[in-house]
Amino acid sequence: MSDRPHPILIGVAALVYLFLMLPLVIVVGAALSDTTYLTFPPQGLSLRWFENIFEISAFRRTIVTSLQIAFMGTLLALLIGIPAAYALNRFRVELPKWLGTLFVLPILVPEIVFGFALLKSLTVGTGVPIFAALLIGHTLLVLPYVVRVISASLASFDFSIEEAAISLGSAPIKTFFTIVLPNVRAGVIAAFILAFITSLNDVSVSLFLTGPGISTLPIQILAHVEQFFDPTVASVSVLLMFLTVAVMAVVERTLGLTFLAK
């Protein structure tokens, strides 16, 4: 008897990892190339295309916008999503079933349709400023993730714990912050990461909502690729990957990611 996995299993797992990692290796390689065109393997090693990102003002602006939108949109979605998830679970019996589904709609509708709908209703219909429209769009885009992930956390939360605290003299609102929230912390962190990264990497919704002077990084990458064939896109993609990894790392450092393994 052996605890070692079967060689075929190891082989398949290795192939999956290879399949997942190879495109990333190619992008990183292309970003480091010294040539003026995209190529792999890289010819010569240089960081000039990374410098180039910051020399193009459109990239500088859109990186800032993307981070702003992702951060603020995620916070807004948490502000709406946490109370919503709480209500959906606390009053599961009393509330109609379709109410839960309502919060998942934005990911059920094809993103391109969702983006178009937002364009029609926000930008064209009411003339909301572009930044605000982007913020609303991204908040709605990530809200389903927030509600789903925190609901999953709350589903295993025993609400008699909340009642115990109330019976001991803790007011309901206070009880929510001192008893309920600390017990779904892992869910809130997971929701934050998922929402932030989803927003940071979104194309479909942003495509409709960006406008003159205001764009997000993925949209700027698209626009750049249409005009230039230099390795800047590769280096900016690497930058986007590192931003994503950085978010994970910061969360890991401050709050711990061990819950993701649970």
Partner 1 sequence: MTQPLDLHAISAHYGTTKVLEDLSLSVQAGELVSLLGASGCGKTTTLRLIAGFLSPTTGLIQLGGRDLTRLPPHKRDIGLVFQNYALFPHLSVLDNVAFGLKQRGIGSTERRKRAMAMLERVGLAALADRAPGALSGGQKQRVALARALVIEPPLLMFDEPLSNLDAKLRVDMRVEIRQLQRSNGTTSVYVTHDQEEAFSISDRVAIMNAGRLMQFDRPEVLYRRPANTFVARFVGFENIIPFKVVARDGDVATAETAGMTLRLSQASYGAIPDSFLLATRPDGLVVSTDPAAEGLPAQLGLRTYLGRAYQYQCVTEAGHLVANGSLTTPLEARASVKLVPMPEQCTILSADGAQ
Using CB under 8 A, list all residues that contact partner 1: 158, 160-161, 163-172, 175, 179, 182-183
Residue 83 has a CB neighbour count (10 Å cut-off) of: 12
Answer for the pair 215, 59: CB distance below 8 angstroms, yes or no: no
Question: Whole-number minimum distance, CB 151 to partner 1, in Å?
Answer: 19
131-163 CB burial, b ≥16 within 10 A, e <16: bebbbbbbbbbbbbbbbbbbbebbeebeeeebe
* Residue among 74 and 175 whose Cβ is closer to partner 1: 175
Give phi and psi for 33, each to the nearest 5: -70, 145
* Residue among 57 and 167 whose Cβ is closer to partner 1: 167
* Residue among 165 and 188 whose Cβ is closer to partner 1: 165
* Residue among 57 and 160 whose Cβ is closer to partner 1: 160
Question: Whole-number minimum distance, CB 89 to partner 1, in Å?
Answer: 16
Question: Whole-number minimum distance, CB 179 to partner 1, in Å?
Answer: 6
Question: Whole-number minimum distance, CB 259 to partner 1, in Å?
Answer: 13
Alpha-carbon distances, residue 221 vs 59, 97, 215, 238 (angstroms) = 8, 41, 10, 12
